[in-house]
Amino acid sequence: MTPRLFINAPLAESAAAPLSAEQAHYLKNVLRRDEGDAVLLFNGSDGEFSAVIAELKKKGGLATVGAQTRPQAAEPDLTLFVAPVKRAALETIIQKSVELGARSICPVITERTVATRINRERLQAIAVEAAEQCGRLSVPAIDEAVKFEAMFDDWPSGRRLMFCDEAGDDETKAWGGGEGRAAPALETLKSFDKKTESWAILIGPEGGFSPAERAALRARAFVAPVTLGPRILRADTAAIAALTLWQAALGDWRRP
C-alpha cells in the first residue's frame, strides 16, 4: 500500500513538498522506503496528490509532487464535544472520531469531569495518523477545552446538538427538566431534514451530566436529547455509537 502523509504545505503538480524529520524517519526506517518510491500527500485543502520521494535525511526530506489523485471534497459539518476521560479511552475517541467523519473535536469540562489535563499536541498527532490511515482528505482540529457553561457562547446559527442523555425517563422527572423523553438516537435523527448542514454531538463524562447541566441542555430548542439504548455505555463506546448512528441517518455514508 502506498503511504499517505499529511503535510502543512501547498500541493500542486511538479512542486517540491517538504517532509518533516518524523516523516522522513517513518518512511526510511519504519516502512523501508527510499528515494524514488511513491507516496500520497494531502494537506486538507488541495486534495490528494501522488508524489515521489526525492530526498530522505535525518533532518527531513522532500517529495516531488505528481498528478492529483483526488480533488478536495466537502465533508459533513459535524463537531464532537466530549468530556475528557482517561488517556487510553480519550485517544480511542479521537482516533475513531476521525475515522467516522468528525470535522472537529472539542473537549468539554463538565461538573463531573475528572480527567481535566489534556495533551492537545498528542491528540492532534493521533488525529493526523488516523486521517492518513483512513483515507480522508482533511484532519480534524482538536480544539482548546471549554467549560460546559461556555460551550454555547458563539454557538453557530442553525447548528443542532445531539445530546446523548444516558439518564433516561426516571431522572427526567426528578430534575424537573423539559417535557418528553429522550427517544432512540436513530429514530430521532431520521426525523430531521437531511439538508440540515451543521450538527454537533455531545458525550458526557464517566459520572454523567449533572441535573443542572441536563436541565440547561433540555432548555435549548436546538438540542435533540437521545438515548443510545438500554445499557449505560462507556464514553468511548458512546462516542463511536453516536457518530455511527449520525452517519447512518444524516452523514456521508451513502457516498462511495
Contact 13, 41 (CB under 8 A): no
CA distance 151 to 69: 39
pLDDT greater than 50 at residue 151: yes
Assign a CATH topology to domain 77-250: Alpha/beta knot (3.40.1280)
For the chain, give the mean pLDDT.
90
CB atoms within 10 A of CB 169: 11
pLDDT at 170: 45
pLDDT at 171: 42
**Structural class in CATH, domain 4-70:** mainly beta
pLDDT band at residue 177, thresholds of 50, 70 and 90? very low
- Same-fold call for 4-70 versus 77-250: no
pLDDT greater than 70 at residue 82: yes
pLDDT band at residue 206, thresholds of 50, 70 and 90? confident
pLDDT greater than 70 at residue 176: no
Helix (H, G, I), strand (E, B), or coil: what is residue 7? coil
pLDDT at 195: 67
pLDDT at 167: 67
CA geometry: angle at 35 spanning 15 and 17, to 5°?
A: 20
Q: How many whole angstroms from its chain centre is CA 51?
A: 27
Task: Provide the residue ranges of all domains of the chain, joining segments of one domain with +.
Answer: 4-70, 77-250
CB atoms within 10 A of CB 119: 13
CA distance 94 to 31: 24
Contacts 24+ apart (CB under 8 A), 238-242: 238/164, 238/166, 238/203, 239/80, 239/82, 239/93, 239/96, 239/97, 239/201, 239/203, 240/93, 240/96, 240/100, 241/185, 242/162, 242/164, 242/185, 242/201, 242/203
Contact 67, 50 (CB under 8 A): yes
CA distance 131 to 139: 6
CA geometry: angle at 173 spanning 169 and 175, to 5°?
A: 115
11-to-18, 43, 207 alpha-carbon distances in Å? 10, 7, 45
Tens digit of pLDDT for each residue in 88-105? 999 999 999 999 999 999
Lowest-confidence segment of 59-73, 75-89, 157-171 by average pLDDT = 157-171
For residues 63-70, average pLDDT: 98
Amino acid at position 28, single letter: K
Greatest pairwise CA separation for the chain in angstroms = 67
22-to-33, 72, 138 alpha-carbon distances in Å? 14, 25, 19
Of the candidates 63, 69, 76, the residue with the CA atom closest to the CA atom of residue 19: 63
DSSP letter for 163, please: E
